[in-house]
Structure formats: structure tokens, C-alpha cells
């Protein structure tokens, strides 16, 4: 069985959905499970709904209406019959999310986030599945929340592999074309959980692992894995082959083309990962599998923006030692800040953090009780794998470098 994953750009409008069909027709769709993300920027739109719910309830109806109109535009372009059953299915989903926001009593942002944002994927897969059936490509729509079981760590749930395997074995017909969602799971009480932003790649890997798939293909709007994100760098080159180890390194440092958790389950069963263009589906793209390093071996650039650099030093010039560092890292964990870079000396400690869960301000309040704290917000963390002197100079030019750290294969720069 093969696993295909299509991201938001590949289903952003009616033409994109039709192109998804073209891809399936060109490369075949027998014994295939297709994982589909929310359409276009719908995850952002659903996040706006959550923001309105917590900060400006008068705006909730308007933000939901924008989501409804976006999807109805796509559906009206795909289905000529205004009485098509897909409209009724979408109405049920919209009624569900509106109903949840009406009766919900939980004040927990992460819980509400997962119960609302999940509808982006539920809507997109309902439309894609209905359209495939409409044009004669029979398929089965699966609710991935019945397959992937997790803990209750909302917005960044951990997979219960044993229960997920049981569910996949009992619910997936491997002989059919299956359509399901990325990004989502559910806990023991069947409340929706999410696997972390951009988690659809990980969903594909989880299902591939449980199904012993022959391969996973991620369909992108780029030719494959490039040595830099073309949105941030002018000159980019296709990486034709990448080892699992190298891909995990790139993902760890923030390469956006592959989700950081995606590679581990694939590596364990040596399932190859292909990253290909949905514009040119017959092109080779990039293959990630067994082997060493990358081909061609060239510098790879990764940037993570909107980071936070903290510089901590002791108030009495005493050493920052193991006890202090242990306490600091516990605070990072408690406030859900992800550590991306660490550098320390005898009396100071610098760390670059990702503040995606908004824990920075309460963290600072606690740190300032024991340390002198200098905080630089909105910094960028650049990483170069397989760096050379020219590649480092190209990043340093015109930028204020706050921290630089070099290893044998990797250099990292925190810049303002």
C-alpha cells in the first residue's frame, strides 16, 4: 500500500483539487491511502475563529462565515448540481463547530484550539472525497480521529502506537482508495487532538508505519527537497537523495519541507519517503531512504523566524551550573517553549527559543526572580548544514549577529 500526502497548496481551490485528480490518474491510485491537509490557508482562518472566541466573541460569527464562503466557492466550482449531497455534509460540519463554540465551557485554549481547528481537514477531505466519487474514482472517506489515538497533550499530542495500530488494523481496507485527514488524532475520550502545526506529514508516516506501506509520497509545490526555502533564499538547488539521518538533522533544525517527527517511524521500517511536485508528478523529486549524507553535497540553509533569544546571568556573578540549568529547563518545559540553540559560559547562559505556545511572558517573570535577563524578541535563527566560508559570509552580510555556534557539520547564527 502507498501513502500520498497532499498539503494545503495542493487543494487551495477548485483547480487545485482537479490537479490532485490529475496526479492520481497519472501515477495511479490503486491500494492507496491519501492524507489531505486543510485547504489553502484554512488552518490560519480556523485559528482566527479560536482567537475571536477568546478575545472578541462578537467576531466569531464573521470569522466562521469567511470559512463557510471560502469552501462554498470551491464546492460550487466543482459540483454543478446545487443540490449535491456534499452541501449537506458541509452544513453538518459547520453546525458542529458552531455548536461546540456555543456550548463549550472549557477555558483551556489548547483544548478549544484542537476542537475547532480540526474542521479545516474535515472539510477539505469531505470535498475531495465527494469530488473523486463524482467523477468516477470510488473511494472511502475515513475519519483519522478513529485511527490515530493519542494522549491529552492538546496541540502537540503524543501517539499511542499500540492503540493506533489496533485501530488501523480493524478500520482500514487496504484494497481500496482511502481519503483521510492529516494533523489530527483523538484521546481516550474521543476529543480531537492535533499533532503539532504542519503535522500532516507526520500523520502520513504514522499510517505508513501501521500499514507497512511500500512508500510515502509528499506532494508539494516545489520540485522536491531544496537546499533552502525559495521563499527566503534566492538561489536554491534540488537535493536528489537524502539519508534518513540527514533528513532528520535538517528537519530538527527547522527545514519546513519535512515535519520533524515524520522520519522516525519511516526509518524504523525503512519505508522510503518521496517528495515530489504536484505540478510535474512524473519528475523524480527527492527520495529519502537508507544511505549516507545528501546528493549533491552542498550547503543547506534553514531559517526559523520570530524566535526569542534569552541571555541569563547570575545576579551575584556565581557560576551557572547543573542545578541552575536543570531549573531553567524545567521552566522552559512548564511554559512550553521549545529550545532551538544553547550556549553557555561560566556565569551566563544563552538560549534561542520558539514561543509558539505563548509562554514567554510568564516565563520571564519567573526567571527575573533569580537571574539577570536580557530578552531579544523577533530574532531569526539561521542554520547551515555542510557549511563553507562563503555560505557563512552570505548570511553575515548586513546582519547583526547576536550568537554564533559552530560544529563539524553545522553552523548556527542568531541574528537581528
For residue 347, pLDDT beyond 90: no
Asked if residue 8 belongs to a known ligand binding site, the reply is: yes
**Phi, psi dihedrals of residue 264, rounded to the nearest 5°:** -60, -50
Residue 357: pLDDT band with limits 50, 70, 90: confident
pLDDT of residue 407: 92
Asked if residue 231 belongs to a known ligand binding site, the reply is: yes
Asked if residue 155 belongs to a known ligand binding site, the reply is: no
Write the pLDDT tens digit of every residue in 104-134: 999 999 999 999 999 999 999 999 999 999 9
- Give dist(CA 320, CA 326) in Å, integer: 10
Residue 334: pLDDT band with limits 50, 70, 90: very high
Task: Decide if 353 contacts 339 (C-beta within 8 A).
Answer: yes
For residue 45, pLDDT beyond 80: yes
Write the pLDDT tens digit of every residue in 311-321: 998 888 777 77
Write the pLDDT tens digit of every residue in 149-165: 999 999 999 999 999 99
pLDDT of residue 234: 87
CATH number of 300-415: 3.30.2130.10
Listed in sequence order, the residues at least 6 apart from 324 whose beta carbon sits closer than 8 Å to its beta carbon are: 314, 349
Listed in sequence order, the residues at least 6 apart from 310 whose beta carbon sits closer than 8 Å to its beta carbon are: 350, 351, 353, 367, 373, 374, 375, 376
Asked if residue 358 belongs to a known ligand binding site, the reply is: no
Task: Decide if 202 contacts 263 (C-beta within 8 A).
Answer: no
pLDDT of residue 128: 98
Q: Does the domain made of 2-213 have the CATH classification 2.40.50.1020?
A: no
Asked if residue 121 belongs to a known ligand binding site, the reply is: yes
The mean per-residue pLDDT over the stretch 181-209 comes to: 95
Task: Decide if 118 contacts 194 (C-beta within 8 A).
Answer: yes
Q: For 85-89, 91-95, 320-324, which range has the lowest pLDDT when averaged over its residues?
A: 320-324
- Residue spans of the domains in the chain: they are 2-213, 300-415
Beta strands at 184-186 and 215-220: parallel, antiparallel or unpaired: unpaired
pLDDT of residue 324: 80
Asked if residue 240 belongs to a known ligand binding site, the reply is: no
Amino acid at each position: 500500500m502507498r501513502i500520498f500526502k497532499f498539503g494545503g497548496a495542493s487543494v487551495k481551490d477548485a483547480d487545485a483539487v482537479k490537479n490532485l485528480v490529475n496526479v492520481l490518474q497519472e501515477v495511479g491510485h490503486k491500494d492507496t491511502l491519501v492524507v489531505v491537509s486543510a485547504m489553502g490557508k484554512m488552518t490560519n482562518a480556523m485559528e482566527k475563529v479560536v482567537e475571536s472566541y477568546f478575545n472578541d466573541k462578537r467576531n466569531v460569527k464573521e470569522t466562521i462565515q469567511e470559512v463557510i464562503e471560502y469552501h462554498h466557492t470551491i464546492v460550487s466550482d466543482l459540483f454543478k448540481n446545487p443540490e449535491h449531497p456534499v452541501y449537506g455534509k458541509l452544513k453538518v460540519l459547520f453546525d458542529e463547530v458552531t455548536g461546540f463554540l456555543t456550548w463549550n465551557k472549557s477555558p483551556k485554549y489548547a483544548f478549544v484550539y484542537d476542537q475547532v481547528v480540526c474542521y479545516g481537514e474535515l472539510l477539505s477531505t469531505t470535498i475531495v472525497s465527494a469530488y473523486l466519487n463524482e467523477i468516477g474514482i470510488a473511494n472511502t472517506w475515513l475519519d483519522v480521529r478513529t485511527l490515530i489515538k493519542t494522549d491529552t497533550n492538546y496541540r502537540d499530542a503524543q501517539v499511542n502506537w499500540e492503540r493506533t495500530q489496533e485501530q488501523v488494523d480493524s478500520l482500514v481496507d487496504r484494497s481500496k482508495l482511502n481519503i483521510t485527514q492529516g494533523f489530527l488524532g483523538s484521546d481516550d475520550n474521543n476529543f480531537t487532538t492535533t499533532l503539532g502545526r504542519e503535522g500532516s506529514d507526520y500523520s502520513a508516516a504514522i499510517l505508513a508505519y501501521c500499514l507497512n506501506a511500500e512508500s510515502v509520497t509528499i506532494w508539494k509545490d516545489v520540485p522536491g527537497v531544496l537546499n533552502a526555502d525559495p521563499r527566503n533564499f534566492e538561489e536554491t538547488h534540488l537535493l536528489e537523495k537524502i539519508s534518513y539521518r540527514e533528513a532528520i538533522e535538517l528537519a530538527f533544525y527547522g527545514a519546513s519541507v519535512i515535519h520533524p517527527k515524520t522520519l522516525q517511524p519511516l526509518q524504523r521500517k525503512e519505508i522510503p519517503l518521496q517528495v515530489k511536485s504536484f505540478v510535474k508528478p512524473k519528475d523524480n523529486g527527492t527520495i529519502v531512504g537508507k544511505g549516507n549524507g545528501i546528493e549533491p553535497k552542498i550547503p543547506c540553509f534553514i531559517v526559523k523566524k520570530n524566535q526569542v533569544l534569552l541571555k541569563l546571568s547570575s545576579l551575584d556573578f556565581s557560576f551557572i551550573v547543573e542545578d541552575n540549568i536543570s531549573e531553567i529547563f524545567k521552566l522552559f518545559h512548564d511554559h512550553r517553549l521549545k529550545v532551538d540553540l544553547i550556549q553557555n559560559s561560566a556565569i551566563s547562559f544563552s538560549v534561542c527559543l520558539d514561543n509558539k505556545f505563548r509562554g514567554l511572558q510568564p516565563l520571564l517573570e519567573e526567571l527575573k526572580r533569580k537571574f539577570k535577563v536580557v530578552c531579544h524578541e523577533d530574532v531569526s535563527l539561521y542554520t547551515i548544514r555542510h557549511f563553507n566560508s562563503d555560505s557563512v559570509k552570505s548570511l553575515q552580510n548586513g546582519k547583526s549577529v547576536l550568537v554564533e555556534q559552530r560544529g563539524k557539520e553545522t553552523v548556527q547564527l542568531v541574528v537581528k
